[in-house]
Structure 1
Amino acid sequence: MPLLALAYFGFISLGLPDGLLGVAWPSMARDFGVPLDALGFLTVAGMVGYFVSSVAAGFVLGRLGVGWLLAISTVLASLALTGYLSVPAMVLAVGCALLLSLGSGAIDSGLNAYAASAFGPRHMNWLHAFFGLGVAIGPLIMTAVLESGLSWRWGYGIVAIFQAGLAAAFALTARLWKRPVVEESVEVTKAAHTLRIPAVWLGVGAFVCYVAIEVAAGLWAFTVLTQGRDMSPRSAGLIVSAYWGALFVGRVIFGWVSERISSHRVLLGALLGMAAGSVLIALPAPAWVACLGLVVLGFFAAPVFPLLILTTADRVGAAHADRAIGMQVGASGVGGALIPAVVGVLLNRAGFGLLGPVLLALSVLLVVLYLLASRPRPAAG
């Protein structure tokens, strides 16, 4: 199925730029003559653009169509990546980051909305696993470029070429991206009606919590294990890799499991598994217990994002699904940027042992939000 293959490439393309920045930034900062902490300007611009475009995409998807939304958004991403080839100053790089996030947010919303209505839970999980694959490939590309003696700019140029080819493929297949959901029912439903549904806002809160957990665990685990549990940097690095690896493997495995067990049961079990992993991290026990908790957390977190997307229509109704998915994707960007930063402040002031309790509190809140959002909707709604 050509559209399914394009969807997989689309999710890889979403992850590639995220993987580039971490490796490229020291060289970028040196070229622009800015301190390393200036990275915050790029991340804030990325968060703002991602939130705006992902939410907006959900509200225009019914009129513009999935194919053209993907084509236009991928062109924007390619142009932004191409801009990195020549920008002479940090302020222009921030502009590129904003443009890139505007394209990426819309791609994320569009692909997730299409996949939620066209593919089953297996491919939904696997598509998100391929996003992780893209994040993993990005550093390899940039590392190869730098080790070849080339400028970091060429790493972005390589990914820009990939994005341009993908944009052409989306444009050529734009008319084929039809969904089982009746498009007309989505168009005539007023946006205000969507915003009045409690399950929409409960879903937004759930995505904020989930992505905050995923990012905060991956971001602060190394620091907590080395400075709070006296682990060696090498061992702590392996555990962090195991955490992200468990997330990838879990999505592959749960892709099969979700075909045989209802998505609701898989989601509830996964959310409880995340809470169990957080408990292990929070316990005042030997370091290996926290390490086990991180792997458990990563494994059970794997199906949560894709299955929450997949079941959005069940919670809010098919006519509101596109807008709700856009809002959820936008909220995930905010949750992944702001809450982990706040967690870092708390760890610095209150001690590294606070990571586990914070993850546990967020996990419990996530379970509550999911159960509330999944309550049967009134027939008239």
Structure 2
Amino acid sequence: MTLLLLLIIYLAFISLGLPDSLLGAAWPVMQQELGAPLEMAGLLFMVIAGGTIVSSLLSGRIIARFGTGTVTFFSGLLTAGALLGFYLAPSVVWLFVFAIPLGLGAGAVDTALNNYVALHYKAHHMSWLHSFWGVGATLGPIIMAQFISGQQLWRNGYLTISIIQFALAAVLLFSLPLWKKNSAASPDEAVPEESHVKPLQIKGVKLAMLSFLFYCGAEATVGLWGSSYLVNVKELSAAEAAQWVSLYWGGLTAGRFLTGFITFKLNNLTLIRYGQIIALAGAALMLLPLPLPFTLVGFVVIGFGLAPIFPSMLHETPARFGKTHSQTIMGYQMAVAYTGSTLLPPLLGFVASQTSIAVFPCFIAVCAVGMYVCSERLNGVVRQKNVGIGR
């Protein structure tokens, strides 16, 4: 039964990744049909991210009230309905309307499943779970491409993804008894000494949130501005630059799959530290005045370095802060993570517009250093707390 539920969670994470890259893939065609300006995609993305942040912050109370299975089902239903709305939208205004439930659904299910896996499954499942998100994020544009190549039927692409999401929602509906049975078989252990403390008052929580901010800022910035840096500074063609950025995402996805096996030998804290050091090494390859091949390899190295960090930090949440508040803290972490991926890439864009896109490697290095410093300080706080408890 536990294995069956785990398979359902894996399917849910593939579906979670499917819509994430649809807008970017379809926007050139959508923009033309709807008569919208180019920058409107950025505003739509921010509305989706805003809904995700809000639902992540509220997820702790909602999941405590209704349970992980129920919240996951309704979130999937909400996402499927929002994608259907994109298919039917007669104008850009309606895209903004449906962007709100799309973000709300994604944030709730993301937070719910991450905490559930952190509490009930081993670290390797968390890494593999996030590599399956990468599978979904990769399949989304591939599905959309089948419809927009030639006939430009972007609406049918959204309809197809919506049907897949409705099918998953049906699976989640029939699996609700399984969620309840599995939770009853492995109840969460409370942490009495922290039960009266508000989550944000627990030592180290703010450092953890900052780590997520810097991580997601680095990950999203490389994905958004990597091609522009390679084209404008390293003078690659747009096609070559896109290929190297795709290798960055490939390194991230493959790295998470491999991390699942490495977790049998190394713990989360070691994986986080090594990942940060490798990511810094990748940024150094781009910063130093080295030949072009070193810069290109730097993209792949950064992808491999970032791979274990996010799932390992998520899985470590109950161990760091206790199971009583892990769901709420997980929501805070996810909200700050989405904030980082929403605000830091535009920040680099603003800085680059005032200076040059050549600042790109410096920006990535600053994010990597900030993440490393916050993470190491957090480890010190947790060690000190554990020593205090041991006394």
Report the TM-score when normalising by structure 2.
0.92
Alpha-carbon offset, residue 188 of structure 1: 12
**Equivalent residue, structure 1, for 2:29:** 27
Q: Deviations over 1:2-31 (max 9, x none)?
A: 111111111111111122211211222223
CA distance in 2, matches of 1:43, 1:258: 34
Q: Deviations over 1:258-309 (max 9, x none)?
A: 1221121111111111111111111122222211111111001101111100
Specify which of 357, 362, 371 is matched with residue 366 of structure 1: 371
Equivalent pair of 2:252/2:303 in contact (CA under 8 Å) = yes
Q: Which amino acid aligns with 2:85?
A: G
Specify which of 5, 8, 16 is matched with residue 7 of structure 2: 5
Equivalent pair of 2:29/2:148 in contact (CA under 8 Å) = no
**Equivalent residue, structure 2, for 1:267:** 272
**Equivalent residue, structure 2, for 1:288:** 293
Q: Which amino acid aligns with 2:300?
A: V
Alpha-carbon offset, residue 233 of structure 1: 2.6
CA distance in 1, matches of 2:274, 2:194: 34
Gaps of 5+ in 1: none
The alignment status of 1:251 with 2:256, answered yes or no, reads: yes
CA distance in 1, matches of 2:123, 2:188: 22
Larger displacement relative to structure 2 (348-357 or 188-197): 188-197
Q: Deviations over 1:25-74 (max 9, x none)?
A: 12222232211211122111111100001121123322211100100111
Alpha-carbon offset, residue 190 of structure 1: 6.4
Q: Which amino acid aligns with 1:156?
A: Y
CA distance in 2, matches of 1:148, 1:278: 39
CA distance in 1, matches of 2:63, 2:190: 12
* CA distance 1:82–1:191, shift in 2 (3 Å): farther
**Equivalent residue, structure 1, for 2:344:** 339
Equivalent pair of 1:270/1:300 in contact (CA under 8 Å) = yes
Specify which of 123, 131, 141 is matched with residue 139 of structure 1: 141
Specify which of 217, 222, 225 is matched with residue 230 of structure 2: 225
2:325 is paired with a residue whose SS is helix
* CA distance 1:380–1:261, shift in 2 (3 Å): closer
Alpha-carbon offset, residue 216 of structure 1: 0.6
Matches for 1:187-226 after TM superposition, within 5 Å: 193-226=198-231
Equivalent pair of 2:248/2:303 in contact (CA under 8 Å) = yes
* CA distance 1:214–1:103, shift in 2 (3 Å): same
* CA distance 1:41–1:187, shift in 2 (3 Å): farther
Q: Which amino acid aligns with 1:322?
A: Q
Alignment RMSD = 2.1
CA distance in 2, matches of 1:335, 1:250: 22
**Equivalent residue, structure 2, for 1:45:** 47
* CA distance 1:370–1:78, shift in 2 (3 Å): same
1:269 is paired with a residue whose SS is helix
Q: Deviations over 1:327-370 (max 9, x none)?
A: 11111111001101101121222223211111111111111111
1:198 is paired with a residue whose SS is coil
Specify which of 168, 171, 176 is matched with residue 169 of structure 1: 171
**Equivalent residue, structure 2, for 1:68:** 70
Q: Which amino acid aligns with 1:306?
A: P
Alpha-carbon offset, residue 120 of structure 1: 1.3
Equivalent pair of 2:52/2:106 in contact (CA under 8 Å) = yes
1:85 is paired with a residue whose SS is helix
Equivalent pair of 1:52/1:330 in contact (CA under 8 Å) = yes
* CA distance 1:355–1:160, shift in 2 (3 Å): same
Q: Which amino acid aligns with 1:203?
A: A
Specify which of 270, 283, 293 is matched with residue 278 of structure 1: 283
Q: Which amino acid aligns with 1:136?
A: T
Specify which of 296, 308, 312 is matched with residue 313 of structure 2: 308
Alpha-carbon offset, residue 118 of structure 1: 1.7
Specify which of 297, 313, 334 is matched with residue 302 of structure 2: 297
Q: Which amino acid aligns with 1:242?
A: L
Alpha-carbon offset, residue 189 of structure 1: 7.2
Equivalent pair of 2:29/2:154 in contact (CA under 8 Å) = yes
Q: Which amino acid aligns with 2:142?
A: L
**Equivalent residue, structure 1, for 2:105:** 103
Report the TM-score when normalising by structure 1.
0.95
How many residue pairs get aligned? The number is 381
Equivalent pair of 1:62/1:183 in contact (CA under 8 Å) = no
